[in-house]
């Protein structure tokens, strides 16, 4: 059974960089069978796809976040990470990592981690 | 505003049938891209409910079914149960947004 677990600071100051890591267990990022995505959900609101990474390191980002976003992968640790720079209160959300299968759906999700942007 | 449009809320009594619509456009659902549905119980992560328009992952009761036509899709829930009270989201792929995955705004299902 594939499991994903997000980790990182729960509080980030405005203008700083939000950094999160997702550890995958029960399956290998290296298998090349799936993409690995980040998705976020502001409190009381809907879901927003952030971007994905493939085991090779190729990425695809939501155009609305592309200028501030970096997603990376460490296959030796079976982890993916994301960095979102110049954060504002609008970036406050629960951040999920998820496994993406074809055709473009998310079949396994982490439990999510709340990141609050506040001074 | 979400790229895919869902009603904010629906409700039904136990045992009844409810449907949730998801309306897109010619760059996503209308372009032939599949629609997927997720159930989010309070305080939990979304769970895949229907993939590829009408396929149910293992473990999902057959009370849940999906369909797609033109630029819209629907999720139907029959034999409504109290445990079905949750938020439901549709999701697809949009070719006009540099290949982004897009979600509906979500529908809150209340079991009366």
Backbone φ and ψ for B104, nearest 5 degrees, come out as: -80, 170
Please judge whether A47 and B57 are an interchain contact, meaning their C-beta atoms are less than 8 angstroms apart.
no
Which chain A residues contact residue B75 at CB under 8 A? none
Which chain A residues contact residue B101 at CB under 8 A? 37, 49, 100, 104
Please judge whether B34 and A103 are an interchain contact, meaning their C-beta atoms are less than 8 angstroms apart.
yes
Sign (positive/negative) of CA torsion A85, A20, A78, A28?
Answer: negative
Residues of B with a Cβ under 8 Å from any A Cβ are 2, 33-34, 36, 38, 44-48, 51-52, 57, 89, 91-93, 97-106
CA atoms within 13 A on the CB side of B69: 4
d(CA B27, CA B109): 28
What per-residue confidence (pLDDT) applies to A32? 85
User: Measured between CB atoms, which of B33, B101, B105 is closest to A49?
Assistant: B101
Give the list of residues 6+ apart from residue B4 with CB closer than 8 angstroms, or none: B22, B23, B24, B28, B29, B90, B91, B92, B102, B103, B104, B105
d(CA B53, CA B7): 18
User: Measured between CB atoms, which of B47, B89, B99 is closest to A46?
Assistant: B89
Q: Nearest-CA distance from B16 to chain A in Å?
A: 26
Which chain B residues contact residue A103 at CB under 8 A? 33-34, 52, 93
Backbone φ and ψ for A86, nearest 5 degrees, come out as: 50, 50
pLDDT tens, position by position, A8-50: 999 999 999 999 999 999 999 998 889 999 999 999 999 999 9
What per-residue confidence (pLDDT) applies to B96? 87
- Written as six digits, the tokens of B68 are 């797609």
Burial class (CB in 10 A: 0-12, 13-18, 19+), B32: exposed
Please judge whether A104 and B47 are an interchain contact, meaning their C-beta atoms are less than 8 angstroms apart.
no
Beta strands across the sheet bearing A18-25: A3-7, A18-25, A79-84, A69-74
pLDDT tens, position by position, B61-88: 999 999 999 999 999 999 999 999 999 9
Which chain B residues contact residue A60 at CB under 8 A? 98-99
CB of A8 closer than 8 Å to CB of A26: no
Buried b (16+ CB within 10 A) or exposed e, A3-37: ebebebeeebeeeeebbbbbbbeebebeeeebbbb
pLDDT tens, position by position, B41-59: 999 999 999 999 999 999 9
pLDDT tens, position by position, A62-111: 999 999 999 999 999 999 999 999 999 999 999 999 999 988 899 999 99
Which chain A residues contact residue B93 at CB under 8 A? 103-104
Q: Tokens 């995955």, residue?
A: B101
């Amino acid at each position: 059974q594939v499991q994903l677990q997000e980790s990182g600071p729960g509080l980030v100051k405005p203008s700083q960089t939000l950094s999160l890591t997702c550890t995958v267990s029960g399956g290998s990022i290296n298998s090349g069978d799936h993409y690995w995505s980040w998705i976020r959900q502001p409190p009381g609101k809907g879901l927003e796809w952030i971007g994905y990474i493939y085991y090779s390191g190729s990425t695809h980002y939501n155009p609305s976040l592309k200028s501030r976003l970096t997603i990376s992968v460490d296959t030796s640790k079976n982890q993916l990470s994301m960095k979102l720079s110049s954060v504002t209160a609008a970036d406050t959300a629960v951040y999920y990592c998820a496994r993406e299968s074809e055709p473009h759906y998310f079949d396994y999700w982490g439990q999510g981690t709340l990141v609050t942007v506040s001074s | 505003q979400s790229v895919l449009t869902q009603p904010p809320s629906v409700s039904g009594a136990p045992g009844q049938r409810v449907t949730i619509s998801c309306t897109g456009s010619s760059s996503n659902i209308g372009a032939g891209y599949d629609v997927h549905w997720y159930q989010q119980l309070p305080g939990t992560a979304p769970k895949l409910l229907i993939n590829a328009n009408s396929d149910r992952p293992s473990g999902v009761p057959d009370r849940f079914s999906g369909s797609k036509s033109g630029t819209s899709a629907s999720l139907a829930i029959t034999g409504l149960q109290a445990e079905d009270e949750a938020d439901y989201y549709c999701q697809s792929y949009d070719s006009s947004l540099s290949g982004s995955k897009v979600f509906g705004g979500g529908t809150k299902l209340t079991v009366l």
